[in-house]
DNA sequence: TGCTAACCGAGACGGTACGTCTAGTCTTCGT
DNA sequence: ACGAAGACTAGACGTACCGTCTCGGTTAGCA
């Protein structure tokens, strides 16, 4: 399946390791596209990757962990925040990028499934948080600091309020896009993104609303 | 939900046991609480309900459809919108009620799972929409018309814009609460609800935010 | 076969449909031909006969009893012993008739199956004996008395010996034909029947062999 | 019986457990004794053998094939033909041994059942023939050659006649014993064996009985 | 003519077994 | 020491029949 490496390593160890990892994650994504989460099986992934099931279980604890890693790769590649010059453009941009990512069949079917599983599995929840959620949240922080630098948003009163507001904004953006895409099953297009962004900016800039005194 | 009540002529043969339906849905909820979505099995539900597996499959196509009906009942019971006197109070109320519902173990574990499955199953998606989503969306419409009657919100310019805005608001509210609860795994308490509501009302009453011309 | 016709008092209520009985037995034979014993189901027989399953169970205890009655009818129709003028011709005739009956798909598949079941079911064994076996054994007795009348066979020494010999001959004839047809799966044709009959008559007429002193 | 031992190269992967095979066949026989053919289930056999159902189905196509192999073992162990010095003694001996085998609960309940199934299943018929029937037929050939060596029976005129006669004798012996035991449900004791043997030897040594010219 | 009892169809019911599938582990050989 | 191959235990899957039951409705004989 894989070319025999010419490296004359004297001890047979793990020349496959890195290559196998990639093949497995690729196979996982391909299987997600074709079969969806619930029909995806470890045996099928192993066969696609040209790898024994043993090898999968040696590296991942199970289906959940494997899929999290497989889709996390996608988030790494596709989530970034180019500076588009204004807060509105930045938000619209990230909304559209995120929606595009969610619309891929491999993420669409996998993301909610692992979230569902994570309600019963603390380790999985932590893995999702570190592999996916925190990276997204970073975008919110980055966007806000840019907007504050541009003068579009006021500085926060305190570090605690800043964190709370960032969490709120993150949940609103990610939640709205996910809900629109997966639950309402309607497309997130330019029009929707503009409407949503207008609503959000209106809320953020309005009357100090985002920092409740309590 | 299962039968077509329009037919006035009773079909021949032994009628289905209404008691079994109730027992099955109760058992499903109990099993969700104890086992969670992924460990729930049809055989276990049947055993808890004191019913044969055949009876389950005669009424529901599978685990997905069964669980949708089981949690839909909870939405029926717990989702309502008492008039609290102001738009802010109404929104905070519905947010807290919805969060409370999502925090129940049976919904927490089941909701994202069936949504995930629905990405591959059109019939299931439709079932979720009619059994759960549309009822929630009704609350948004009700709340808005109350607010308009109170003068807190302006009337919509057109029916199309009204529907688009309602969908947007619905996705924002439901998405934010779901994301906060299940993905961020943080509590939706009074403070968060106030912050979120302030953000939303700010956006709604802000400069033309709710009606993008495009 | 099923009813007790001796009772002169007609029971109150609607009498059982005689037509249903016939339709059920016909349907059973047809199902045996098409499906064989193991694939035959009560529900299928009921559907073919245009009758509810309840009606079957009201008349027969189960699949075994039903099939015994269905094939017993065939034995009634096809087992007789026309006087062909000599012992040899009589035996060859009955062998060929019995073989022909066994070669029908409905008997071939059903007979051994009910015999197998009867090893664990005394009531079924009795039903087979009275409905099938005893009638066949009658043919042996009839054939022997004819042969004795013709002078082809000597009279028996005692009633006990007579009964024992008749049983032996019956088991030899029926057993050989059944074994040839179902186990060896070879045809019982005229040649085989002649060879078998010669063997049997040789044994019967030879040196008082059929009546061991013990 | 299950494997093709011709391949000298050991297939890759974990080899099948020989112990499991033995445990399964033992469990099958035990279940036949306790439950009989019709109540025997694959799941029960698996549980008795301490084996997963999958393992059964990996080796045998179903209940029929499994039971054939299980009873074939008994035939291997218990069917042999010690030289008792005379044709009569040899036949009586084999009749009694065969009857004893048939009287065991595991064979009594299973043999007719698989024969019945074999009327609809060519592969099963072939399996029964090779695993059981041919071995029995070998005994007939052996007994005849011994008798011919002793001068008790004449040599055959042709190979074809020899084969035909052997088949006939086999069907007569096996058929009579089976019919006596399972259909007539009467014991095969020494007296019956003597009577039957006398009948058979009389027929064999009688006037040209064994070689019909046609 | 109406009563009553047993019949009939249809089909839902609690059970049990089926044969398949997947998870995750274990064993063997080859490199 | 690792990897592929594949057998292993365990257990859920969804289906098929079993034999029973509950319906509404029918068909006799008796009053």
pLDDT for the residue D30: 98
Contact partners for chain C, using 3 or more CB pairs closer than 8 A, are D
Q: What is the dihedral of CA C134, C139, C144, C146, to 10 degrees?
A: 140
Give me the total of CB pairs closer than 8 Å, taking one residue from chain A and one from chain B: 198
Chain F bases closer than 7 A to any CB of the protein: 1-24, 26-30
The helix (H) or strand (E) run that includes residue D143 is: helix D134-150
Does the pLDDT at position D210 exceed 50? no
pLDDT for the residue D94: 95
Radius of gyration of the CA atoms of chain B, in A: 20
Residues of C (6-65) placing their beta carbon closer than 7 angstroms to any atom of strand F are: 10, 12-15, 39-44, 53-54, 57, 62-63
Contact partners for chain B, using 3 or more CB pairs closer than 8 A, are A
Is residue A106 within 8 Å of A77, Cβ to Cβ?
Answer: no
pLDDT in tens, D132-167: 999 999 999 999 999 999 999 999 889 999 999 999
Q: Report d(CA C6, CA C24) in Å as an integer.
A: 23
Query: What's the DSSP call for residue B50?
Result: T
End-to-end CA gap in chain B: 39
Under-70 pLDDT residues of chain B: 1-9, 206-214
pLDDT for the residue A16: 58
> A16 to chain B nearest CA, in Å?
33
Count of all residues that appear for chain A in the document: 214
Q: Report d(CA B202, CA A201) in Å as an integer.
A: 9
Chain-centre distance of CA A15, in angstroms? 30
Indicate the residue of C110, C164, C184 with minimum beta-carbon distance to D195: C164
pLDDT for the residue A15: 56
Provide DSSP, C65-119. HHHHHHHHHHHHHH------SSHHHHHHHHHHHHHHHHHSHHHHHHHHHHHHHHT
Q: Report d(CA C70, CA C114) in Å as an integer.
A: 12
pLDDT for the residue A7: 42
End-to-end CA gap in chain C: 40
Percent of chain C with pLDDT over 70: 91
Asked if A191 is an interface residue toward chain B (Cβ–Cβ < 8 A), one would say: yes
pLDDT for the residue C206: 67
pLDDT for the residue B3: 38
- Over residues D14-40, mean pLDDT: 96
pLDDT for the residue B209: 41
User: Biggest alpha carbon distance in chain A?
Assistant: 70
Under-70 pLDDT residues of chain C: 1-10, 206-214
- Over residues D89-104, mean pLDDT: 96
pLDDT for the residue C2: 39
pLDDT for the residue C12: 77
Asked if A185 is an interface residue toward chain B (Cβ–Cβ < 8 A), one would say: yes
Asked if A163 is an interface residue toward chain B (Cβ–Cβ < 8 A), one would say: no
Asked if residue A12 keeps its beta carbon closer than 7 A to nucleic acid strand F, the reply is yes
Does the pLDDT at position D51 exceed 80? yes
pLDDT in tens, D159-206: 999 999 999 999 999 999 999 999 999 999 999 999 999 999 999 986
Percent of chain C with pLDDT over 90: 80
Q: Report d(CA B101, CA B96) in Å as an integer.
A: 9
Indicate the residue of A117, A119, A182 with minimum beta-carbon distance to B115: A182
Chain-centre distance of CA B65, in angstroms? 14
Closest among B208, B210, B179, B204 to B88, alpha carbons compared: B204
H helix intervals, D5-133 = 18-35, 42-49, 53-59, 63-78, 87-103, 105-118, 122-128
pLDDT for the residue C188: 97
Chain E bases closer than 7 A to any CB of the protein: 4-31
- Among all protein residues, pick the one whose CA is nearest to the C1' atom of E3: C13
**Chain C residues in contact with D208 (beta carbon < 8 A):** 198
- Among all protein residues, pick the one whose CA is nearest to the C1' atom of F1: A13
Under-70 pLDDT residues of chain A: 1-16, 206-214
Q: Report d(CA B79, CA A148) in Å as an integer.
A: 39
């Amino acid at each position: 399946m894989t070319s025999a490496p010419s490296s004359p390593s004297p001890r047979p160890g793990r020349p496959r390791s890195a290559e196998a990892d990639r093949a497995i994650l690729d196979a996982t994504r391909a299987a997600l596209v074709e079969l969806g989460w619930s029909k995806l099986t470890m045996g099928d992934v192993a066969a696609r990757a040209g790898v024994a099931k043993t090898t999968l279980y040696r590296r991942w604890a199970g289906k959940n962990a494997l899929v999290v890693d497989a889709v996390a790769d996608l988030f790494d590649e596709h989530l970034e925040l180019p500076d588009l010059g204004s807060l509105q453009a930045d938000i619209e941009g990230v909304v559209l990028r995120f929606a595009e990512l969610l619309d891929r069949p491999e993420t669409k079917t996998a993301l909610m499934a692992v979230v569902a599983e994570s309600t019963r599995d603390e380790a999985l929840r932590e893995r999702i948080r570190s592999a996916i959620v925190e990276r997204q949240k970073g975008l919110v922080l980055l966007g806000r600091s840019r907007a504050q630098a541009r003068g579009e948003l006021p500085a926060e009163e305190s570090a605690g309020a800043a964190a709370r507001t960032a969490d709120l904004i993150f949940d609103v953006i990610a939640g709205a896009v996910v809900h629109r895409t997966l639950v309402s099953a309607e497309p997130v297009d330019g029009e929707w993104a503009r409407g949503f962004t207008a609503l959000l900016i209106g809320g953020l800039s309005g009357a100090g609303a985002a920092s409740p005194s309590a």
